Chain A
Amino acid sequence: MDRIQNAALLLRLIERLREQGSWCGETHVQKATYFLQDLMRVPTPFEFILYKHGPFSFELRDELTALRADGLIDLEPQWPYGPRIVLTGRSAYIKEISSRTLAKYDDRIAFVADRLGDRGVVDLERLATALYVTKRTHARCSAEERAEELRRLKPHITPESAGSAVAEVDKLVEEAEKLAD
């Protein structure tokens, strides 16, 4: 994929997240892109590492800055919170000239937006880190072991919450596989 196609996917994801009522700050976009890439296998080029709020990509952060520089997205501050990401009018033609790519991946973007659009940063951190642990262990470990690893990485997450995050991720993996079929 070239940069314009990749930008079009990010713009569509932001659009769908907002349609689903997401606050759509950078953390929301980071986690949704992580699910899009690592769960839904959409070939965006970002490398995710475990960072402050779970999986995070420095390249994605740089690309969001580049999209702002190109006038395709903007930041919408709202007291006293961190800013929301909003599409600008200029973003429409980027989506238009990449319509083939968008058509190919639209159902996967819709899936991610539908499942994550109404989640807050706490939930997103929990779920994305559970997916990170599941991918890293290639699901070889039991749900209990993965929940334990999740708690080791993010000690503020309660055992119950870690267990339910791993269970939810397993369900999402199953649904994603069905969608891929």
Chain B
Amino acid sequence: MPKNIHEIRDPVHAFVRLDSHERGVLNSRPFQRLRHIHQLGLTYLLYPAATHKRFEHSLGVMELASRVFDVVTTPGNVTDEIRRRLPQLEREDERRYWRRIIRVAALCHDVGHLPFSHAAETTLLPEGWHHERLTREIILSDEMESIWEMITPPLRPEDIVKLAIGPKKARDMEFSDWETILAEIIVGDAFGVDRMDYLLRDSHHLGVAYGRFDHYRLIDTLRILPSPPSGRNDEVRQTQRGTEEHGTREAEVGQEEEARCVELGIEEGGIHSAEALLLARYFMYTQVYFHPVRRVYDIHLQDFLKAWLSDRLFSTNLEQHLKMTDNEITAALLEVAFDPSKAGYEHARRIVQRQHFKVIYQRNPNDININPEAGSAVYRALTSRFGEEHFRCDRCVQKGGAPDFPVQLRDGQIVSSLALSETLKNVPIVSIDFVFSSREKYEEASRWLEEHRAEIIRPTREDERNG
């Protein structure tokens, strides 16, 4: 009898299991291409073992997505109120359909990635394009559609798209509460399994322990819950007036209960695992993802690709996209880095011969107190004094909001995570603002900057800034 369940060994989750339909997705050309896309771009130039690929990460995301789905839809973990709001939870055929959808969406969520993942994404796609849009196009392509049709019951490709890229990147699509929750399981800010897997996997491969957290406990305590209550304005007014009056506006409170959204939250027992996840994210961002040398290699790669690619952009044609992997670009880098006559030589040389730019300025609390745009001011001053070709700037702030999610206390009350946990409230926001200098100009520019620094970062009035 042919085997329907297949196991794949995985260093993070031990085994990832998939059935024959899912193996059809795995065997497709877009998914196999992910074997050739480094998860962390050129990070292996700093952390030599960072050679893992999007392929195994996508398998891990599928594994975690279904674990979370199973926990949050288990009847004993769902209250009557949630069941009333999400009728899909009551119907076994619906539940099975959406379990299938979330698994293939998780599997496909990264198929649109460009070579070297995020390294070259921001400036090398035409306006309005990003890797999620390419993911969407691939899921809706004829090649993948034939796979969705073979499955029983056939999968609606639009459902897969919604869960794979979420409302942030599928802005023209309407999401039901149910679809929003399921997309949140994959790409959510607080508990998205995409993030859980990459923290654990990157940590494992890089040999950096910071990314580990107790994901078993965390997943076990995840629940679909009503959003934390919002404070009412009448309470603010009472506080402001300092009166003892308690005008309970019961009708409004009732309406508010009804209007509260549902979202992913946790049982009280999981709060420390959630804190550990968010601290892991903070440490991995500061130590790895926003490491200045890693960032400057990304910039050199972008500069190289702008010179090397025809039209200075990646193609959004799916055939072309599927043909382009890290392999083609690595081969080009190695060739061009030793031939000054080739376009992009200077940038390829900086990567291959490790002659990357050096940090000449970075954000610090003192300067930010004076001017939050200090990095831009330094970059403008340096380029105007020494020439644009010698400097690059890199500004990036952590995306997403505060870790404000519902927590269900042991007595059933729902509270905001930020009201419960001092730790969550105080996890710093990762924000970088680097200016890099070529090695040729570094000494001279450093001396000049030291001399003029105070004057450069002084905040200017808008009339001076914009004329």
Q: Does A66 make an interface contact (CB < 8 A)?
A: yes
User: What separation, in Å, do the CA atoms of A79 and B407 have in the docked complex?
Assistant: 12
Q: Fill in one digit per residue for A125-139: 1 if any B CB lies within 8 Å of its CB, else 0.
A: 100000000000000
Q: Which residue of B lies closest to A48 (CB)?
A: B171
The B-contacting residues of A in range 63-121, CB under 8 angstroms, are: 64-66, 68-72, 75, 77-84, 90, 93-94, 97-101, 117-121
Q: Nearest-CB distance from A102 to chain B (Å)?
A: 10
Decide: B373 and A3 in contact? CB cutoff 8 A: yes
Between-chain CB contacts (< 8 Å), 5 pairs: A4-B372, A52-B227, A62-B399, A70-B368, A78-B231
Decide: B263 and A66 in contact? CB cutoff 8 A: no
- In the complex, besides A68-B429, A97-B460, A122-B252, 4 extra interface pairs with C-beta distance below 8 angstroms are A61-B400, A65-B399, A80-B415, A80-B420
Q: Does B317 make an interface contact (CB < 8 A)?
A: no
Q: Which residue of A lies closest to B405 (CB)?
A: A82
Count how many chain B residues have C-beta atoms less than 8 Å from C-beta atoms of the other chain.
54
Q: Nearest-CB distance from B285 to chain A (Å)?
A: 12
Q: Nearest-CB distance from A152 to chain B (Å)?
A: 10
Q: Which residue of B lies closest to A52 (CB)?
A: B261
Q: How many pairs of residues, A versus B, come closer than 8 Å at their CB atoms?
A: 150
| Chain A CB within 10 Å, residue with most, of B227, B400, B402, B459 | B402
Decide: A49 and B167 in contact? CB cutoff 8 A: yes
Q: Does B123 make an interface contact (CB < 8 A)?
A: no
Decide: A97 and B459 in contact? CB cutoff 8 A: yes
Are A5 and B462 also in contact (CB < 8 A) when A22-B233, A25-B231 are?
yes
Q: Does A178 make an interface contact (CB < 8 A)?
A: no
Contacts of A72 in B (CB 8 A): 372
User: What separation, in Å, do the CA atoms of A8 and B259 have in the docked complex?
Assistant: 32
Decide: B416 and A80 in contact? CB cutoff 8 A: yes
Q: Does B425 make an interface contact (CB < 8 A)?
A: yes
Q: Nearest-CB distance from B457 to chain A (Å)?
A: 13
Q: Does B463 make an interface contact (CB < 8 A)?
A: yes
Decide: B415 and A79 in contact? CB cutoff 8 A: yes
Q: Nearest-CB distance from A164 to chain B (Å)?
A: 13
Q: Nearest-CB distance from A103 to chain B (Å)?
A: 11
Secondary structure call for the A interface: mixed
Q: Nearest-CB distance from A71 to chain B (Å)?
A: 7
Q: Fill in one digit per residue for A1-17: 1 if any B CB lies within 8 Å of its CB, else 0.
A: 01111010000000000
Q: Does B401 make an interface contact (CB < 8 A)?
A: yes
User: What separation, in Å, do the CA atoms of A98 and B369 have in the docked complex?
Assistant: 16
Are A82 and B230 also in contact (CB < 8 A) when A65-B400, A156-B259 are?
yes
Contacts of A70 in B (CB 8 A): 368, 372, 431
Decide: A82 and B229 in contact? CB cutoff 8 A: yes
| Chain B CB within 10 Å, residue with most, of A90, A98, A122, A153 | A122
Decide: A64 and B263 in contact? CB cutoff 8 A: no
Secondary structure call for the B interface: mixed
Are A83 and B404 also in contact (CB < 8 A) when A4-B373, A4-B465, A77-B425 are?
yes
Contacts of A47 in B (CB 8 A): 171
Contacts of B229 in A (CB 8 A): 80-82
User: What separation, in Å, do the CA atoms of A121 and B259 have in the docked complex?
Assistant: 9
Q: Does B152 make an interface contact (CB < 8 A)?
A: no
Q: Which residue of A lies closest to B237 (CB)?
A: A21
Are A83 and B413 also in contact (CB < 8 A) when A23-B236, A125-B259 are?
no
Decide: B429 and A65 in contact? CB cutoff 8 A: yes
Q: Fill in one digit per residue for B454-467: 1 if any A CB lies within 8 Å of its CB, else 0.
A: 00000111110110
User: What separation, in Å, do the CA atoms of A82 and B171 have in the docked complex?
Assistant: 26
Are A71 and B258 also in contact (CB < 8 A) when A83-B404, A83-B416, A101-B462 are?
no
Q: Does B228 make an interface contact (CB < 8 A)?
A: yes
Decide: A122 and B256 in contact? CB cutoff 8 A: yes
Decide: B233 and A80 in contact? CB cutoff 8 A: no
Decide: A97 and B462 in contact? CB cutoff 8 A: yes
Decide: B230 and A23 in contact? CB cutoff 8 A: yes
User: What separation, in Å, do the CA atoms of A75 and B233 have in the docked complex?
Assistant: 17
User: What separation, in Å, do the CA atoms of A3 and B430 have in the docked complex?
Assistant: 18
